[in-house]
Amino acid sequence: MPRDQDTVNPDVERIQRWMQAVIVNPGDVEQAIRSPEATSEIPAESLGEVVTPSHSMTSAERVDVYHGMYLLRMVEALEYDYPTLKHYLGQESFEELVREYVQVHPSRSYTLNRLGDHLPEYLETRHDWADSGFLADLARFELAITEVFDEAESPVLTAEELQSVPTEAWESARLKPIAAFRLLELKHAVVPHLKAYHGDQPSPRPRRRNTWVAIYRRDFSPLYLELTRAEHDLLRALVEGTSLAESLAAAAVKVRSSQRQEKIFRWFRTWVAEGLFSAVET
């Protein structure tokens, strides 16, 4: 390949584009240096002139220090955010997932904290994996945990504050959730996997089961609450700003029980005790 002065003595823009292309390439360092993305900037034959060899390492070996560390850093960031997913997949499969994921969704932020934001949607597209739907649900759950961890702190509505709302105001009252609150509707059982991870037990087989869960933060710790469908629907209505009266009327239709009122009252008592609401707006 002919080499012009630009590729033998490239300027900094070219060097940076080349080095990044090599570092993020999913193959080994030799494949990375010979990849179209890298050679469109600097031909592989110019490597020894662009990166000088050291007293103990070839040019390629020196580049490989950076190349090798890139994937390790991405894996480390994502295993911190998705420990249950990693527990289910195992180290090797998880690394393979990260290698493929960061090719499609590389970090474009100053923080690694949001690197995994697209993982649920990415997993959803992997139709070639038999359990992609389950993996996406598990990732949704763990992503919500990370979001709740970082949300702003909110004041918490107390039972006394709720009880002090005048009776005539209940009709139009609206409950405002805390910022650190997420409501999920999943198609797979994910809680057994969470328990397996925290108990250092093998992950169970994935199982299809409609799952409703509230994820929230109390005293700076992310927590979750498994819900019935009726509980979920009522909470969903409330957090979307439907008035208390309207939400309760809808819930009353769905709860088939002679002790309907007590049941709904019990839900509210739990939600308020867990600090899911920040204010009641009348």
Partner 1 sequence: MKDNRWGLPDLGLGVGLRTTHFSHILSNRPDIGFFEILTENYLDTGGRPLYVVDQVAEQYPIVMHGVSMSIGSTDPLDREYIKKVKGLAERTGALWVSDHICWTGVLGRNTHDLLPLPYTEQVLRHTVERIRAVQDILQRPLVLENPSTYLEFGSSEMPEWEFVARLAEDADCGLLFDVNNVYVSAFNHGYDPRVYIDAIPADRVCQYHLAGHTNKGTHIIDTHSDHVIDPVWELFGHTLRHVGLRATLLEWDADIPPFEVVHAEVLKAAVWRNVEVAHAA
Query: In the complex, which residues of this chain contact partner 1 (CB under 8 A)?
Result: 9-13, 15-17, 19-20, 23-24, 48-52, 54-57, 59, 61-63, 65-66, 69-70, 73-74, 77, 106-114, 149-153, 179-180, 217, 220-221
3-state SS class at 232: helix
Which residue lies nearer to partner 1 by CB, 66 or 265?
Answer: 66
CB of residue 168 to partner 1, shortest distance in Å = 35
CB of residue 59 to partner 1, shortest distance in Å = 8
Q: Which residues pair with 182 in a beta bridge?
A: 215
CB of residue 52 to partner 1, shortest distance in Å = 5
Which residue lies nearer to partner 1 by CB, 113 or 242?
Answer: 113
Are the CB atoms for 146 and 81 separated by under 8 Å?
Answer: yes
N residues, the chain: 282
Which residue lies nearer to partner 1 by CB, 30 or 171?
Answer: 30
| Residue that has been written with the tokens 């409330």 in this structure | 238
DSSP at 44: G
CB of residue 108 to partner 1, shortest distance in Å = 5
Which residue lies nearer to partner 1 by CB, 91 or 259?
Answer: 91
The residues, ordered by sequence, that sit 6+ positions from 176 with a Cβ below 8 Å of its Cβ are: 157, 277, 278, 279, 280, 281
Q: Alpha-carbon distance 50 to 68, whole Å?
A: 19
